[in-house]
Structure 1
Amino acid sequence: MYLSAILVLMLIAPLASILVEALVAGGPLAPLVLKWFVVWGVGARLGLAGLKQVTQPAFTAETIFEISDPKAQVIVQELGFANLTFGLLGLLSLAFPSFLLPAAVGGGLFYLLAGVKHALRAGKTRTETIAMVSDLAIAAVLAVALAVAR
């Protein structure tokens, strides 16, 4: 289920949105890549992750980090608040295009730092490996799109 959600939010939905808008409106590709990876990768993914972390913090603590201590759930919930904030910023970039750059930079840096932290951790679970790969991939896509679109 986790892998499916990642594939939809980080690959299928952004690519489908880029394709549809490119066919309908045309224009340069880089701004569309930036727009739709921010909306889906930062907005939808971090928003949904934040919602899950706030409402079910044990999932992240136990499934991704293998921490069963209930005290860790408070920290996971605070991470959830940050993810909700980034997610909202990414989603609002559709209505407020001036939010696109802050959402791309902030979300991209978050993903880069989280991905590096996952990469440095020994004994990763399958779920953490999926998180690491997807975090680093979206950070790279956002960095390239930012560099080309600007």
Structure 2
Amino acid sequence: MYIALVLAQTLVLPLVSGFIQLVVAGGDPLVVFGIWWAFWGVGTRLFVAGISQLANPGRTTKGILGIEDESAELVVHELGFANLCLGFVALFAPFVPDWGILGALPGAIYLGLAGFRHIPKKGKNTDEVVVTWTDILVFVAVVAGIVRMVTLS
């Protein structure tokens, strides 16, 4: 279930939303897809992750990171607050295009740094492998959209 949700938020939904917008309203594809990756990949993903980390911190500590120490759950709660805030701002990307995609940049950078940090880790479980590569995908898509938006200005 977790992998399906992550793949939907970071691959399927941004592509579907972007294609719909391009067909209906047009626009520059890099900007359009950047906006939808900001909304789905940063906004909904981090917002939902934040809620999950606050409601069930063990899912992150044990299920994704493989940490059995329950004291790590305190740190996951803090991470949950950060994810809620970063995700909330990115949810505005398609509705306030002039600044919304830029508001998603900190969340995209966060995901990119997290993804790159996980690459060399040995013994990743399936959830962590999916999270690693989708984090990097979201980072690249959002940054490409922002770079394109800035060069069009």
TM-score in terms of structure 1 length: 0.93
Letter in 2 for 1:48: V
1:7 has 2:7 as partner: yes
| C-alpha separation in 2, matches of 1:32 and 1:96 | 13
Identity of aligned residues (%): 33
Alignment of 1:71-150 (within 5 A): 71-97=71-97, 98-103=99-104, 105-150=105-150
| C-alpha separation in 2, matches of 1:141 and 1:9 | 13
Q: Check the 8 A contact 1:34/1:149 in 2, yes or no.
A: no
Secondary structure (helix, strand or coil) at the match of 1:27 reads coil
| C-alpha separation in 1, matches of 2:140 and 2:92 | 22
Instruction: State the 1:100 CA deviation.
Output: 2.0
Alignment of 1:32-51 (within 5 A): 32-51=32-51
RMSD: 1.3
Instruction: State the 1:9 CA deviation.
Output: 0.6
| C-alpha separation in 2, matches of 1:140 and 1:30 | 11
| C-alpha separation in 2, matches of 1:96 and 1:112 | 23
Q: Check the 8 A contact 2:38/2:138 in 1, yes or no.
A: no
Letter in 2 for 1:32: V
Instruction: State the 1:11 CA deviation.
Output: 1.1
Structure 1: state its 5+ residue gaps.
none
Secondary structure (helix, strand or coil) at the match of 1:92 reads coil
TM-score in terms of structure 2 length: 0.91
